[in-house]
A and B are shown apart, each in its own frame.
Chain A
Amino acid sequence: MAQFRLDGTKVLAVTLEGGGDAVKAKNGSMVAYDGEMAFKKLSGGGEGVRGMVTRRLTGEQMTVMEVKGRGTCYFADRACDINLVRLNGEKLHVEASNLLCTDSGLRTGTSFTGLRGASQGNGLFTTSVEGTGQAALMSAGPAVLLRVTPQTPLQVDPGAYVAHQGDLRQSFQSGVNFRTLMGEGSGEAFQVRFEGTGLVYVQPSERNTLGGDV
């Protein structure tokens, strides 16, 4: 089983034991390794022909490589902060652009998110990660983990959303009114509302979104 650990906050070190031990990582994110490693590009995120077609169709594209071998491999991307997540059979939803590395024991796929994706400019789909093992997420600045309970729903700016897990319903909340059309918009017109029970990962930075200037 591959061991994930952080070396600082911006470098992920993965120790592989050899003998079929492998991880999937964002293409080109390896910065160094010791031992023996083989890197193989996986077309379509390693999800087979069906996954490949789905990803192409949904625009949730992800170029992934399989890293196999024995030793320690270091991954990093644009000095983004890295957050480790351990999954025990749950499902994690994450933007494809924020996923750095997953254990080979985890399955990845695409799922429909609805309007949230559209407001982010990331398309209507998101990547789901499911199974048992560790995954590494990237965020601009260390992610803040926010818990959602039935009593305390959470609203998140679409540009700051990174990932979520748990039994959450998301709905798209818009504060667009006639003043927005008059050019007096509040700049915070679009939010994603999470209800239910679970965790949301938020980054202290905003991507440029379609809704950001309204």
Chain B
Amino acid sequence: MSQPPQGGAPQDYQVYDAASLPANDNVNPYAFCVELDGQWFLQKGKMIAYYGQIDFHGIGHGPLDGLVASSFHSPLHAADWVVAQGRGKLLLADRAFDINSYDLEDGNLTVRSGNLLAFDPSLSLKQSIIPGFLTLIGTGSFVAASNGEVHFVEPPVRVDPQALVGWADCPSPCHHYDHRYLKGVMGGLRAMTGVGGASGEEHQFEFVGAGTVLIQSSEVLMDERDTGGVPQQAGVPGGQGGDSGHGGQQGPQLPGQFGSLQRRLGL
């Protein structure tokens, strides 16, 4: 390693400059460098530094209408996203979480909205019908974060809701409840109070079918902004659907009330 201009740099650290930063690759497990020549979508606040001439545009009315129309189909997430436009090297990172890039080739992948950092406009971003998740469709690359390394597992598998990062190729996600622990009055009490042997693992997401499921090695979720909710419309999961007293429609009709179900689902 050459001596930096002002001396003083520790010899055992790699110093990057505009030329030596990797192009579209990880700088270290926690930072990713995008070689930008054109446009990329990125989530607000995930850019930590850049070389070159790059402008950031909010998504809304303006010169980028065409781009947004072709690749951004999540109006409810628009407030969280920006378009980076220009030429240069862009460093992305998020709360020192592990960052990985994924390449899709005429495929689809659904990812928790808070975990997606950036994507190539050749992909199109759509809101998943599962609340709090976003689906990417097409060909191109995107960058996502996870708390701890990502593990890829094949269905059939049941996953803890908090550990789920996303899934690819439609392995039919659904809820699974350990019925034995939830039924009856005692089950309701257990679920509500945690007294009497609730392990906190009575509910999982179940995946069957062909595909890949991505899980992170931690149950800590990124705090998500409360934008990106779902439309208040009948038939939309998570939407209030007219009956505003009943938060979320996907709770099972079991005796005993699930006070914290919404939270436990990670929604």
> Do residues B28 and A146 form an inter-chain contact, with CB atoms below 8 A?
no
**Interface residue? B6 (CB, 8 A):** yes
Nearest 3 A/B pairs, CB to CB: A187-B44, A141-B96, A204-B93
**Interface residue? A58 (CB, 8 A):** no
State the interface size on chain B (CB cutoff 8 A). 45
Which residues of chain B have C-beta atoms less than 8 A from A61's C-beta?
none
Which residues of chain B have C-beta atoms less than 8 A from A43's C-beta?
none
Q: How far is the CA of A156 from the CA of B49 in the complex (A)?
A: 4
Partner of B82, one of A148, A188, A202: A188
Known: A179-B60, A179-B62. A145 touches B48 (CB 8 A): no
> Do residues A204 and B48 form an inter-chain contact, with CB atoms below 8 A?
yes
What residue of chain A has the Cβ atom nearest to residue B31's Cβ? Answer: A204
Q: Could you list some 23 contacts between A and B, CB below 8 A?
A: A86-B10, A140-B95, A141-B31, A144-B16, A144-B27, A145-B16, A146-B91, A149-B17, A149-B18, A152-B18, A152-B19, A155-B49, A160-B48, A167-B6, A180-B58, A184-B58, A184-B59, A184-B60, A188-B45, A188-B56, A199-B4, A205-B95, A205-B96
Q: How far is the CA of A151 from the CA of B155 in the complex (A)?
A: 51
Q: Which residues of B contact A (CB under 8 A)?
A: 4-10, 12-19, 21, 27-28, 30-31, 44-45, 47-52, 54-62, 80, 82, 91, 93-96, 99
> Do residues B17 and A147 form an inter-chain contact, with CB atoms below 8 A?
yes
> Do residues B48 and A157 form an inter-chain contact, with CB atoms below 8 A?
yes
Partner of B93, one of A89, A154, A160, A200: A160
> Do residues B48 and A202 form an inter-chain contact, with CB atoms below 8 A?
yes
Which residues of chain A have C-beta atoms less than 8 A from B52's C-beta?
152
**Interface residue? A85 (CB, 8 A):** yes
Q: How far is the CA of A24 from the CA of B218 in the complex (A)?
A: 36
State the Cβ distance, A186 to closest chain B Cβ, in Å.
4
Which residues of chain A have C-beta atoms less than 8 A from B96's C-beta?
81, 140-141, 203-205
The tally of CB-CB contacts under 8 A between chains A and B is: 157
Chain A facing B: main interface SS: strand
Q: Which residues of A contact B (CB under 8 A)?
A: 81, 83-90, 92, 140-142, 144-149, 151-157, 159-160, 165-167, 175, 179-180, 182, 184-189, 197-200, 202-206, 212
> Do residues B14 and A165 form an inter-chain contact, with CB atoms below 8 A?
no
Q: How far is the CA of A183 from the CA of B30 in the complex (A)?
A: 30
Which residues of chain B have C-beta atoms less than 8 A from A146's C-beta?
15-17, 21, 49, 51, 91
State the Cβ distance, A78 to closest chain B Cβ, in Å.
12
> Do residues A85 and B9 form an inter-chain contact, with CB atoms below 8 A?
yes
Which residues of chain B have C-beta atoms less than 8 A from A175's C-beta?
55-56
Known: A86-B8, A90-B7. A200 touches B49 (CB 8 A): yes
What residue of chain A has the Cβ atom nearest to residue B62's Cβ? Answer: A179
Partner of A186, one of B16, B57, B99: B57
What residue of chain B has the Cβ atom nearest to residue A141's Cβ? Answer: B96
What residue of chain B has the Cβ atom nearest to residue A146's Cβ? Answer: B16
Which residues of chain B have C-beta atoms less than 8 A from A166's C-beta?
4-6
Which residues of chain A have C-beta atoms less than 8 A from B13's C-beta?
83, 145
Partner of A145, one of B15, B51, B58: B15
Which residues of chain A have C-beta atoms less than 8 A from B16's C-beta?
144-147
> Do residues A188 and B47 form an inter-chain contact, with CB atoms below 8 A?
yes
Which residues of chain B have C-beta atoms less than 8 A from A167's C-beta?
5-6
What residue of chain B has the Cβ atom nearest to residue A196's Cβ? Answer: B5
| Contacts A152-B18, A204-B99 supplied; 12 other A-B pairs, CB < 8 Å | A81-B96, A84-B10, A88-B8, A142-B28, A144-B28, A147-B16, A156-B49, A166-B5, A186-B56, A198-B5, A204-B28, A204-B96
